[in-house]
Amino acid sequence: MAEQENTTPDPLEEAFNAPAAEGHPEAESAETAEDAAEAVEAELQEDIAAESADAALAAERLDSLLRLQAEFTNFKNRTAREKEQLRGFVTS
């Protein structure tokens, strides 16, 4: 009797040789994980940009506050000098 070749494909071999993106759950979950990672990365970049904008605004406001304090100190010193000058004019 002649031996017949087994022509039915092995399912394990087909699964191994099939492309990964052909609807296999592992491939879909990998794509989903990549999409989720990209979304998280984009959100992280937005948060970093917003945080740096907030830091820049805080630095700008701090600078403005320091300038205002310096101007007020100068105003107090100037009015104290003018007050002393007026006292000198009045007593002379």
- Whether residue 88 lies inside any domain: the answer is yes
Instruction: Collapse the DSSP code of 12 into the 3-class scheme (helix H, G, I; strand E, B; otherwise coil) and give the result.
Output: helix
Residue 5 domain flag: no
pLDDT in tens, 13-68: 665 565 554 555 565 677 888 888 899 999 999 999 999 999 999 999 999 999 99
The answer to whether residue 84 sits within a structural domain is yes
92 in a structural domain? yes
The pLDDT value recorded for residue 9 is: 62
CA–CA distance, 56 with 62 (Å, rounded to integer): 10
Residue 9 within any structural domain of the chain: no
**What domain count does the chain have?**
1
Range of the domain at 70: 43-92
Name the more confident of 8 and 71: 71
Residue 21 contacts residue 27 (beta carbons within 8 Å): yes
Residue 92 CA to residue 69 CA, distance in Å, equals: 35
In a domain, 25, yes or no: no
Q: Pick 12 or 53 by higher pLDDT.
A: 53
The one-character DSSP state at 77 is H
Burial class (CB in 10 A: 0-12, 13-18, 19+), 58: exposed
Residue 27 lies in a domain: no
